[in-house]
Structure 1
Amino acid sequence: MNGVLRPVRLRPSDLVRLGTAGLRARPGRALLAALGIAVGIATMVTVVGISASSQARLLRQLDALGTNLLRVSPGDDLFGDDPVKLPKGAAAAVLRIDGVREAGQTGDTKATVRRNDLIAGEVSLGISVQATSLDLLRTLDGRVRSGTWLNAATERHPAVVLGSVAAERLGLTAPDAQVWIGNRWFTVIGILDRMPLAEEIERSALIGFPAAEEYLDFDGHPTTVYERSDDESVESVRDALARTVSPERPSDAKVSRPSDALKAKAAAAGAFTGLMLGLGAVALFVGAVGVANTMVVAVLERRKEIGLRRSLGATRGQVRTQFLVEALILSVAGGAFGVVGGALATFVYAGVNALPAVVPVWAPGGALGTTLLIGALAGIYPAVRAARVPPSVALTAQ
């Protein structure tokens, strides 16, 4: 109309066909360029997935174990004259606090446990010998893996229950064996299961308070008191614990919540993700450089094609858009393969390590969004360079 020629508008489907034409003509080069993007995206998705899976396990464990367990241990002596000791009736006093359901206590006997009497007494294997009250297992919501727990009869005799780690270090997998504690044999009557909220118990050999006093010259003072209260009473109980255990000197009792350690582990797992994401970003940057290099070479090799399209009426904007779309398709294809690869790696890792497989929803979305941005940045310069090629120069190029 009016003798004015107007360039045909390219539909999205036309742009996709043009963008994929160059990639289909050189599939090997396109595959290698997309592989760089895929490796970077797969690394980042895997790191996020593994971190999220580890955090999920810790949080599930925390939900199952609860946050209503508190621990009382001796505080620091301001003058350093004598070691601080908790009173013998500490657990009984704690039970009188409103909201407390269970309370148990342990006391360090300073003795060592060995597999036999021929091993030097200095060899402890990192295992402590603890006197324990009978209600400790119920307070910690623990389980006996094999054998049995102490009772009113065995707590008075040379009988011992081993924590899971202590049993491993002593090379024992079942009870009915004997170990050397102090200067006599003790019979192993049980082995405990794991206790994530009381890892010190896992590394302990547990005997009754009466037996510890009779056979190991234990003074009867507990070194740790555990209590479990109603969920709604945790804070009020925490405020009252120190004053209840040591009314005259509340500073002699230090109160902590074991579940805080699991929360710290979950936070640490998330913090480590930042470092690994940085490594993934480096791989992604290398992939972006590969895409840009591929597109620059494509522009140089396809100057005749560009000139022909310009001669037939294609505008600079259309040529620029063609190469930009090609770079975007290349990046998104690599990103999609990277997301799938990263998710599969996460599921495999979670399965091998008995973790709940978790890939946050934002991870694949963020990964694909990142590849779009990378494709745009990597394709801008080659696209602009292609658009600036004059038709006359392109048609005569050798």
Structure 2
Amino acid sequence: MRSVELVRFAAGAIVAHPLRSVLTSLGVVIGVAAVVMMTSIGLGAQQRVTAAISSLGSNLIIVQPGAARSGGGGGLVFQGAGSSVSLRDGDVDAIARQVEGVVAVAPLVRSQAQVAAGAANWNTRIEGATPDYVVARDLQIAAGRMFDAREARQGRKVAVIGQTVATNLFGAGDPVGQRIRVRAIPFEVIGVLASKGQSSFGQDQDDVIVAPLPAVRSRLVGRRLRGDTVMTIYVKAASDDILDRVQEDVTKVVRQQHKIRPGEDDDFQTQNMASILEASQAAVATFTILLAAVAAVSLVVGGVGIMNIMLVAVTERTREIGLRMAVGARRSDILAQFALEAVALSLVGGLIGLVIGVAGALAMARLGAWPAAIPAWAGPLALGFSMLVGLAFGAYPSWRAARLDPIEALRRE
């Protein structure tokens, strides 16, 4: 039997029962659509996490106090990052002097305060820093300027504000040159930061005021910190190739500054943005694979549906199979015909599912405000897997049809 005739017979059998064919392919449609959508959502989430973590700063190492031991009565409690105060100005100077390959070292203290400008007021995050802070965090000045080293050293009451603060305090007006009151202490706005958006932790990075470190530490943080204490140290490496080496050197220098003996635990923590990004991407990738695997279960269900309907078709068309064998059709022709029908049903379902999956992924990305990430391999993989499902689950019905005895088949009514 020629290939053209096989295709014609298979297509005719499918078209003869349109509703049954549609319902048979429905499982594959749902399975392929679910796999494409789940994969797209996972990859979109991965891109969003990558962008959010990258916005914190490239080649960045964060040093925070923590992992200090405390407790009484012989008990030991390991505290988390930021739970103790152990970083000083001397640590910042030592890192800047002794660690090679460092572009910027920026100490930071932070507080939360009510800020007012005229009749408007806003509760925001106040960060005391040095001019190197904008270099370490890859910040850009959208208007005005950053305070310089002299202003920072003297603790001048000047500030650079984020876009969120500027909008809530000044609306569409120009904040540069205006006065704001931070807990009744006047500061002059000398610059506005370019928008950074949300961080990977959901924090609005534009809802911030950056002012000279001494001014914030003495006037806003006050007795909560010693005069030379810092809460965080940002260290920017020259390139990502030396990031791990710089992190090791920073750890060694701070241990020396804190006189920590070999074998003793650090009273601080260092975090590498590249390692955090890598760990986050691995976690999201695993989650994406899990989602796709769960969605792929419906493909198996669709395959079982195809096998069920093909077995019914073999039973219904037993006499037809006997007639074809009687006029010369070989068992291989019968096998190929029914296998082709199963593959066609599965492939059509895969095509429809692919279209629905892509449309659904784009719609969900728009609703969720995350990147629409549809991989190039999604289409070929979906169609190839659909064909595989058709072959796998159509194999037994096709074999059963080919093994029918022609005489017994002709007797069947």
* Shorter-normalised TM range: 0.7 to 0.9
CA distance in 2, matches of 1:105, 1:199: 23
Q: Trace 1:1-398 onto structure 2 (pairs within 5 A).
A: 10-56=1-47, 58-59=49-50, 67-79=58-70, 83-96=84-97, 97-108=99-110, 111-114=111-114, 128-144=125-141, 148-151=145-148, 152-153=150-151, 156-163=155-162, 176=175, 181-182=182-183, 184=185, 190-191=192-193, 193-194=195-196, 196=199, 202=205, 204-216=208-220, 217=222, 219-231=227-239, 232-245=241-254, 246-250=256-260, 251-347=266-362, 349=364, 353=369, 355=371, 357-361=373-377, 363-398=378-413
The residue identity in structure 2 corresponding to 1:76 is A
Indicate if the aligned counterparts of 1:129 and 1:204 stay in contact, CA closer than 8 A: yes
Residue ranges of structure 1 left out of the alignment (5+ in a row): 1-9, 118-123
Deviation at 1:249, TM superposition (A): 2.4
Indicate if the aligned counterparts of 1:156 and 1:210 stay in contact, CA closer than 8 A: yes
Q: Deviations over 1:323-379 (max 9, x none)?
A: 122111111221233234334444555566452634142x43333332223212322
Cα 1:289–1:191 shift into 2, 3 Å: same
Q: Deviations over 1:190-212 (max 9, x none)?
A: 35522748987926543322322
The residue identity in structure 2 corresponding to 1:136 is Y
Cα 1:258–1:212 shift into 2, 3 Å: same
Cα 1:86–1:376 shift into 2, 3 Å: same
Q: Deviations over 1:126-152 (max 9, x none)?
A: x54332112211221112456654445
Structure number with the higher strand fraction is 2
Q: Deviations over 1:66-106 (max 9, x none)?
A: 75211112243334699442222433332222211111110
Partner of 2:76: none
The residue identity in structure 2 corresponding to 1:142 is L
Indicate if the aligned counterparts of 1:146 and 1:191 stay in contact, CA closer than 8 A: yes
Secondary structure of 2:230's counterpart equals coil
CA distance in 2, matches of 1:19, 1:156: 84
Q: Deviations over 1:225-262 (max 9, x none)?
A: 11212224333322221343452425334221123332
CA distance in 2, matches of 1:253, 1:106: 15
Indicate if the aligned counterparts of 2:139 and 2:193 stay in contact, CA closer than 8 A: no
Cα 1:56–1:390 shift into 2, 3 Å: same
Cα 1:261–1:236 shift into 2, 3 Å: closer
Q: How many pairs align?
A: 378
The residue identity in structure 2 corresponding to 1:370 is F
Partner of 1:121: none
Residue ranges of structure 2 left out of the alignment (5+ in a row): 73-82, 261-265
Cα 1:198–1:321 shift into 2, 3 Å: closer
Cα 1:87–1:317 shift into 2, 3 Å: same
Deviation at 1:14, TM superposition (A): 3.0
Indicate if the aligned counterparts of 2:347 and 2:386 stay in contact, CA closer than 8 A: yes
Cα 1:78–1:167 shift into 2, 3 Å: farther
TM-score, with length taken from structure 1: 0.78
CA distance in 1, matches of 2:24, 2:204: 54
TM-score, with length taken from structure 2: 0.76
Indicate if the aligned counterparts of 1:139 and 1:226 stay in contact, CA closer than 8 A: yes
Q: Deviations over 1:34-67 (max 9, x none)?
A: 2321221121122223323443455577778875
The residue identity in structure 1 corresponding to 2:196 is R
Cα 1:52–1:192 shift into 2, 3 Å: same
